């Protein structure tokens, strides 16, 4: 591959040179999904796929992460490209011939695709090494799905010496092959909470002698929605979701306690930091009025994924050159999903880019699957973004 030819034909070049290899890698990773930081097998497959390339490879980053560095001929900037490797605790229902072989684990968020595309970019850019004006770091990260692997990688120094960083995420609902990104927030802050409602137990036939934790929990679940509807500015996006609730051991016993868990999503930093106090005041007041008590455990998890304007513009410019002007889009609104690439973007200018896979089942569903023709496109886009960033 010749840097001088620019991006013309880059997708076809990637597809023809090693398209089958990255598809095979994606399927191999998909068959053996791993969760959180426990991505040892996945990391081994990545290392095998990178073997023979002119890379300086560091393993054991954030336990099972990999940082592979490609030194170009010039002394230009250092650009990082990142992919996540972990799967989800979901039982797969796609019926694919290479479906997960592990009950209760599945690549339902496209991380197998992200990893394969980054390997493709490493192969493509390695073939251009003599023409590269700078350095490219390929970052393979574990534990994006709630484990904060990005934060650990930053703490272990992966961001040091890097000038810009980019990442892709496969995106259902966006037209196939369309790249989308924007300046500023593109993904929400994603925080979590647990609530324990403490009442007094009793006989199901004598509720007046108990403080029913289930009834309190039901009122709390409804009341928490007023934080969004009545305490947040209507033009500021916010979400409060109860995702877990549990109590009781028998149909005729009023339980003493009920447990709830959920997530809060925000874009505005001031609102994000006000919500825990308001939530605690609301929940304790409501529980107290019903002769019960409540304990809130609130965790600030992933910050807002905030793109650097220049990096986002670069990514859109490259996507338009590579795929066509009609395949580069700026979304009107950020997603309220969360992403721990945010930890990198707190330290470095960069951009997070959605790559459309069309009208398929949504992320984090048992049926999530995508057309593998997206893989050479994604690998080419990562390659082109790195080339453009190095040229500046």
Residues of each annotated binding site for Mn(2+): 109, 111, 145, 169, 364
Instruction: Provide the pairing of β-strand 328-329 with 164-171.
Output: unpaired
Distance (Å, rounded) from C-alpha 180 to C-alpha 316?
A: 7
Q: Which residues are CB-contacts of 199 (< 8 A; sequence separation ≥ 6)?
A: 210, 211, 212, 213, 216, 254, 255, 256, 257, 258, 290, 291, 292, 293
Helices (H), the chain: 10-31, 40-50, 111-126, 149-155, 213-223, 226, 269-289, 309-323, 342-347, 374-391
Structure tokens at 96: 């694919």
**β-bridge partners, 61:** 65
**Which residues belong to the annotated binding site?**
109, 111, 145, 169, 364
**β-bridge partners, 167:** 82, 352
Are 324 and 317 within 8 A, CB to CB? no
Are 202 and 227 within 8 A, CB to CB? no
Q: Which residues are CB-contacts of 298 (< 8 A; sequence separation ≥ 6)?
A: 191, 192, 193, 276, 279, 280
Distance (Å, rounded) from C-alpha 167 to C-alpha 3?
A: 21
C-alpha closest to that of 153 among 347, 295, 323, 363? 347
Distance (Å, rounded) from C-alpha 207 to C-alpha 316?
A: 61
Q: Backbone dihedral region of 52: left (phi > 0), alpha (psi from -120 to 50 degrees) or beta? A: left
Query: What DSSP string describes 178-200?
Result: -EE--SEEEE-EEEEEEEEEE-B
Please tell me whether residue 367 adopts helix, strand or coil conformation: coil
Q: What is the biggest distance separating any 2 CA atoms in the chain, rounded to whole angstroms?
A: 82
């Amino acid at each position: 591959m010749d840097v001088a030819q620019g991006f013309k034909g880059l997708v076809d070049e990637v597809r023809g040179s090693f398209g089958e290899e990255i598809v095979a890698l994606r399927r191999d990773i998909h068959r053996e999904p791993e969760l959180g930081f426990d991505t040892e097998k996945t990391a081994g497959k990545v290392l095998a796929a990178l073997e023979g390339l002119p890379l300086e490879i560091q393993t054991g980053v954030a336990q099972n992460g990999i940082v592979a560095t490609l030194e170009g001929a010039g002394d230009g900037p250092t650009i990082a490209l990142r992919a996540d490797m972990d799967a989800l605790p979901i039982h797969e229902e796609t019926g694919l011939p290479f479906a997960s072989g592990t009950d209760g684990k599945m690549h339902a968020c496209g991380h197998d695709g992200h990893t394969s595309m980054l390997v493709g970019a490493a192969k493509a850019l390695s073939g251009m090494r003599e023409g590269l004006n700078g350095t490219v770091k390929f970052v393979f990260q574990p534990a994006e799905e709630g484990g904060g692997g990005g934060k650990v990688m930053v703490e272990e120094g992966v961001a040091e010496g890097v000038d810009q960083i980019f990442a892709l995420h496969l995106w259902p609902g966006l037209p196939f092959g369309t790249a989308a990104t924007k300046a500023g927030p593109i993904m929400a802050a994603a925080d979590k909470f647990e609530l324990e409602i403490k009442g007094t137990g009793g006989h199901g036939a004598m509720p007046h002698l108990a403080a029913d934790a289930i009834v309190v929990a039901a009122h709390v679940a409804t009341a928490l929605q007023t934080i969004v509807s009545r305490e947040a500015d209507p033009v500021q996006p916010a979400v409060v979701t109860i995702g877990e609730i549990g109590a009781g051991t028998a149909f005729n016993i009023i339980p003493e306690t009920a447990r709830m868990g959920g997530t809060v999503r925000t874009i505005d930093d001031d609102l994000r930091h006000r919500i825990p106090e308001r939530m605690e005041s609301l929940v304790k007041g409501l529980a107290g009025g019903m002769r019960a008590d409540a304990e809130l455990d609130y965790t600030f998890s992933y910050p807002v994924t905030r793109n650097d304007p220049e990096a986002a513009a670069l990514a859109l410019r490259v996507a338009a050159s590579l795929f066509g002007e009609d395949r580069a889009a700026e979304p009107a609104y950020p997603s309220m999903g969360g992403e721990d690439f945010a930890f990198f973007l707190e330290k470095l200018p960069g951009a997070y880019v959605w790559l459309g896979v069309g009208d398929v089942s949504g992320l984090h569903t048992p049926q999530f699957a995508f057309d593998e023709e997206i893989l050479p496109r994604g690998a080419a886009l990562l390659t082109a973004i790195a080339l453009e960033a190095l040229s500046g």
